[in-house]
């Protein structure tokens, strides 16, 4: 019994740190724009703050990969969380002191984004070693992570609204800063039994060309693995469409249909709640399912139908029902794709390649709102929704005609320190399912 608690403590600690960190991020996503709007009254400055946070986050997510592989994902994750505690905490402190100028705010937000990029990437790079240490199927861990992500997003948004309404945006940012410190403490305590990363060869530890070479090695590996590259491209495009859906298309539908902000909250809350339930089911069953068929069925359900039901202006009860079913199906996607990604990346390249894939998946999201707005203005909401749904269907169903995607059904042992790790213990029916 004690051995089970010891080996799974890193998993439970990592999930707790993820939950706290994600909830804190949702708080800042609401509190920071509200602070800028109430102090400057400028929508342009609010958008500029978001840009100053997003660009360094994506850029440092890519550039931080070699550092993660060099000094270890655990150290980078804890260090970035502690740095974020100080930087985010400085925003309300300077504001209360009356010395927070707008250029200073932009600088602090940029540093916060620069810390969040490699910090988030390092947390993800910890997954393979946590899976090996806990001795559970990869899909179970990625499914639990998906559950935590969906639930934290839903609860964090509600918490943010309550904090801003009762304590003000400034104090809400104090809570966000504290969440980084708590995340660092939990991660430091729970993962101290994990094995240290294998030291890099001497020539790889050199500055200058050595760093550039390590960065290029990550890109070269991703470029040669057509399945990983295909997953990254597909997710980048669907993220663009989903960004347009959430930031423009659904709000415009709510206004045009006269349903108000309550309908927007209902749609997103139902989708998030159903997604969390789907992720729980994925954590339980996905290790026994065909990844390839699960991917195709889940995207068929969660993609185009969701856009079509809004385009047809269906009754609210039908729309909510379709959104709930779509959300449940969506809960299976990240656990499956996450397991494939982590299994295909060698341990020495985990930080570099996982950082690259995550950054590329995020790269098109800032364009989603702009593209959605231009299309709605040009051709109207129903046509835009149908076009987005058709694009979603094409992008996600291309693997059905590409035989290379069938490789995602190959369950590979996680590599730890360059050596294949033992596969998690399976029940006889799991062995049979994996073989089929």
pLDDT tens per residue across span 348-357: 888 888 888 8
Which residues are CB-neighbours of 172 under 8 A, at least 6 positions away?
Answer: 27, 30, 31, 160, 163, 164
pLDDT bin (cut points 50, 70, 90) of residue 115 is very high
Q: What mean pLDDT comes out for the span 77-93?
A: 93
Q: Looking at per-residue confidence, does 369 or 60 come out higher?
A: 60
Residue 47 has pLDDT above 70, yes or no: no
Which residues are CB-neighbours of 405 under 8 A, at least 6 positions away?
Answer: 227, 230, 292, 295, 399
pTM: 0.70
Helix axes 350-363, 333-344, angle to 10 degrees: 140
Q: What mean pLDDT comes out for the span 402-416?
A: 75
Residue 429 has pLDDT above 50, yes or no: no
Do the first three CATH levels of 1-142+154-191 and 217-415+427-436 match, i.e. the same topology? Answer: yes
pLDDT of 132 reads 81
Q: Looking at per-residue confidence, does 433 or 76 come out higher?
A: 76
pLDDT of 260 reads 66
Cβ-count burial 333-350 (b if 16+ within 10 Å, e if not): bbbbbbbbbbbbbebbbb
The tokens describing 250, both together, are 């659904």
Handedness of CA 1, 422, 141, 178 (dihedral sign): positive
The answer to whether the beta carbons of residues 52 and 155 sit under 8 Å apart is no
Residue with tokens 């290790």: 287
414 DSSP assignment: P
Pick the CATH number of 1-142+154-191 from 1.20.1250.20, 1.10.287.130, 3.40.50.300, 3.40.50.970: 1.20.1250.20
Percent of the chain with pLDDT over 70: 86
The answer to whether the beta carbons of residues 185 and 23 sit under 8 Å apart is no
Nearest-5° Cα angle at 75, 339 to 4 = 55
- Give the tens place of pLDDT for each residue, 200-233: 454 444 444 577 888 888 888 988 988 899 999 9
The answer to whether the beta carbons of residues 352 and 215 sit under 8 Å apart is yes
Interatomic CA distance for residues 161 and 164, integer angstroms? 5
Would you kindly state where each structural domain of the chain is located, as residue ranges?
1-142+154-191, 217-415+427-436
The answer to whether the beta carbons of residues 87 and 381 sit under 8 Å apart is no
The tokens describing 108, both together, are 């602090």
pLDDT of 414 reads 57
Within 10 angstroms of residue 43's Cβ, the number of other Cβ atoms is: 11
pLDDT of 185 reads 94
Q: Alpha-carbon dihedral of residues 30, 31, 33, 34, nearest 10 degrees? A: 110
CATH class label, 217-415+427-436 = mainly alpha
pLDDT bin (cut points 50, 70, 90) of residue 43 is low
Which residues are CB-neighbours of 46 under 8 A, at least 6 positions away?
Answer: 33, 36, 37, 40
Q: What mean pLDDT comes out for the span 281-306?
A: 87
Q: Looking at per-residue confidence, does 32 or 42 come out higher?
A: 32
């Amino acid at each position: 019994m004690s051995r089970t608690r010891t080996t799974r403590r890193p998993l439970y600690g990592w999930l707790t740190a993820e939950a706290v960190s994600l909830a804190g991020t949702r708080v800042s996503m609401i509190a920071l724009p509200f602070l800028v709007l109430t102090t400057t009254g400028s929508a342009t400055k609010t958008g500029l703050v978001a840009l100053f946070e997003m660009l360094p986050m994506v850029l440092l997510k890519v550039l931080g990969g070699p550092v993660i592989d060099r000094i270890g994902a655990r150290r980078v994750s804890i260090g970035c969380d502690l740095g974020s505690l100080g930087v985010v905490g400085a925003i309300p402190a300077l504001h209360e002191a009356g010395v927070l100028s707008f250029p200073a705010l932009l600088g602090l937000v940029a540093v916060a984004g620069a810390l969040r990029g490699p910090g988030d990437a390092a947390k993800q790079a910890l997954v393979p070693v946590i899976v090996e240490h806990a001795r559970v199927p990869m899909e179970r861990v990625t499914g639990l992570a998906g559950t935590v992500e969906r639930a934290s997003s839903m609860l964090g948004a509600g918490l943010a609204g309550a904090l801003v309404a009762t304590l003000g945006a400034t104090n809400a940012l104090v809570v966000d800063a504290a969440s980084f410190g708590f995340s660092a403490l939990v991660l430091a305590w729970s993962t101290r039994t994990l094995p240290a990363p294998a030291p890099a060869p001497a020539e790889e530890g050199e500055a200058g060309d050595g760093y550039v070479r390590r960065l290029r090695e990550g890109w070269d590996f991703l470029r040669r693995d057509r399945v990983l590259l295909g997953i990254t491209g597909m997710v980048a495009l669907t993220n663009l469409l989903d960004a347009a859906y959430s930031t423009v298309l659904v709000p415009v539908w709510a206004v045009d249909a006269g349903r108000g902000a309550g309908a927007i909250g209902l749609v997103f809350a139902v989708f998030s709640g159903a997604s969390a339930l789907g992720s729980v089911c994925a954590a339980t069953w996905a290790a026994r399912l065909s990844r390839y068929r699960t991917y195709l069925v889940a995207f068929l359900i969660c993609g185009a139908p969701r856009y079509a039901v809004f385009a047809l202006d269906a009754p609210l009860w039908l729309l909510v029902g379709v959104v709930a079913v779509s959300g449940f199906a969506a809960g299976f996607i990240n656990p499956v794709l996450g397991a494939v990604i982590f299994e295909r990346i060698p341990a020495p390249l985990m930080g570099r390649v996982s950082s690259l894939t995550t950054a590329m998946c995020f790269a098109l999201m800032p364009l989603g709102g702009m593209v959605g707005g231009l299309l709605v203005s040009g051709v109207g909401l129903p046509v835009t929704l149908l076009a987005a749904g058709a694009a979603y269907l094409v992008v996600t169903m291309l693997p059905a005609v590409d035989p290379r995607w069938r490789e995602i059904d190959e369950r590979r042992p996680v590599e730890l320190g360059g050596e294949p790790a033992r596969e998690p213990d399976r029940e006889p029916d799991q062995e049979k399912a994996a073989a089929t």
